[in-house]
Amino acid sequence: MDFGSQKLQDCAKALKEIDFDLAYLALLTGEGIKPLSRWEKALDSGVLELLQQMGLLTKQIRRSVQTGKEITETIFSRLPGYIQLYQERFADTPIDKSPETQRLEGFLFGYPACCVDAYIRRPYAPNGLPQQDQKILFHWACTNCKITPLLLPAYKMLHDLLNSY
């Protein structure tokens, strides 16, 4: 991504006005740090267009919750294979939190496998990560993770960049 591009900055600013986390996910995904991201609600065509202007492919996926109510998720990625895999596995299915689903989602969303496995065993277990670092991640880091510290500089850079817009 060309962070000096006025078009990218304008799109990121517009997304940030809607929701900071949405804009942050778009930057992380556009930069390839996250292979796929999910926004757990439908987005209108204007917001989808902003994501597409940032070079992201988008897809709205229908799912259901345990009550039977249908919801729409929005997924986005630079890579069509991740969109297709998510759609094939999750479109028109109930949301579940099975270990199998959490492992696949972790892979698709770029979470370290060790963190996903630790989260499945014990969600939100103390991990010793500084709160300000854990806060900018979209996964719960495991104790003594070797991968999360490698991801943090990129997360911090994009978080700070978005805050500067």
- Three-class SS string for 70-121? EEEEEEEECCHHHHHHHHHHHCCEECCCCHHHHHHHHHHCCCCHHHHHHHHH
Residue 20 lies in a domain: yes
Q: What is the pLDDT of residue 68?
A: 85
The helix/strand/coil state of 11 is helix
Residue 67 lies in a domain: yes
Residue 136 lies in a domain: yes
Q: How many domains does the chain have?
A: 1
Query: Length of the chain in residues, anyone?
Result: 165
Q: Which residues pair with 94 in a beta bridge?
A: 64
Residue 11 lies in a domain: yes
Per-residue pLDDT tens for 26-57? 999 999 999 999 999 999 999 999 999 999 99
Residue 1 has pLDDT above 80, yes or no: no
Residue 107 lies in a domain: yes
The helix/strand/coil state of 157 is helix
Containing structural domain, residue 99: 6-164
Of 1-5, 23-27, 77-81, 85-89, minimum mean pLDDT range: 1-5
Residues 141 and 106 sit within 8 Å (Cβ to Cβ): no
Residues 76 and 51 sit within 8 Å (Cβ to Cβ): yes
Residue 1 lies in a domain: no
Residue 105 lies in a domain: yes
Residue 35 lies in a domain: yes
- Across 142-162, average pLDDT: 97
On average, the pLDDT of the chain sits at 96
Q: What is the pLDDT of residue 132?
A: 97
Q: Residue 142 has which token pair?
A: 């495991």
